[in-house]
Amino acid sequence: MYTKQDLKNMIKEMGIDSTDTVFIHSSMKSIGEVLGGANTVLDSFMEYLVNGLLIIPTHTWKSMSESHNEYDPSKEPSCVGILTNLFMKKEGVIRSLHPTHSVAAYGNDSIEYVKGEEDVATPCAVGGCYDRLRERNAKILLLGVNHIRNTFIHCVEEILQVPNRFTEKPVLFKIVMPDGSLKESHVYRHYNKTTAHISEAYTKLEQAFYDNNVAKQVKFGDAVCILCDANGIFEVTKKVLSHQINCLMELDEIPKEWWL
């Protein structure tokens, strides 16, 4: 049975500082038994990053659609796990206004960090919340999950303008703004004609990240995790894709010499 202090010690052992910006994709069940459950897990990160910024995805891409197109950030549940749904309801946490790929943030500059997402036209827009991870030299923690859940790589692909990543036309969403008004937002969805899940290809980059020391395996509770450097992930992915821009979809295996 892990205590909050046990978890805080593990965060320190990962090499995370209290001033860091940390983005977490998570699987609660992978952690094992925790005294106080999911709330203790969240509290351990929120308290440890006392002078930093904690960011957790609160995606709604699974529920939002042409027929269910009104996004209310105070009510719409996240489709990416129990920790995400609990986190966005905690005191002091701010949720962004992106209708399909929102994030929630707590800590240093959280309000500034999430602003403007109601004005973007893609899931992980250039200059948006995912791109800002580079500006803050953020760490990305894949807690009990792998790079299939690493949404930042979607952002890298957007920055590098990888083709065949979006629907032909955007979907009209209506975002409930803080004052209660509705703002129309036209946002493209992730789409590729050869696969229903683009991110399944991202595991092809795992060894490239390890070999270039931009990712390492760490532990949190029982969970095997991957701690990544956002800027490093960007540079290695850019290097690989410079050889063939759509290689993650077009090749079954990436040649090792492309990243060494």
Q: How does the average pLDDT of the chain come out, rounded?
A: 97
Q: Over the stretch 95-111, which tens digit does the pLDDT of each residue have?
A: 999 999 999 999 989 99
Q: What percent of the chain has pLDDT over 70?
A: 100
| 83 neighbors 41 (Cβ within 8 angstroms) | yes
- Residues 86-94 have a mean pLDDT of 98
Q: How many CB atoms lie within 10 A of CB 65?
A: 13
Could you read off the pLDDT of 189-220 as tens digits, one per residue? 999 999 889 999 999 999 999 999 999 999 99
pLDDT tens-digit readout, 66-86: 999 999 999 999 999 999 999
Spell out a b/e string for 18-43, using b for 16 or more CB atoms within 10 Å of the CB, else e.
eebbbbbbbbbeebeebeeebebbbe
| Residue range 17-70, pLDDT digits in tens | 999 999 999 999 999 999 999 999 999 999 999 999 999 999 999 999 999 999
Domain that holds residue 163: 4-258
Q: List the end-to-end C-alpha distance of the chain, in Å, as a whole number.
A: 42
Phi/psi at 188 (5° precision): -75, 150
Q: Tell whether the model's pLDDT for residue 2 goes beyond 90.
A: yes
Q: Please, where are the H alpha helices in 76-115? A: 82-87, 110-114
Q: Read off the pLDDT of each residue in 138-161 and give the average, rounded to a whole number.
A: 98
| The model's pTM | 0.97
- Give the pLDDT score at 154: 98
The predicted structure's pLDDT at residue 196:
81
Provide the number of structural domains found in the chain: 1
Q: Is the pLDDT of residue 11 over 90?
A: yes
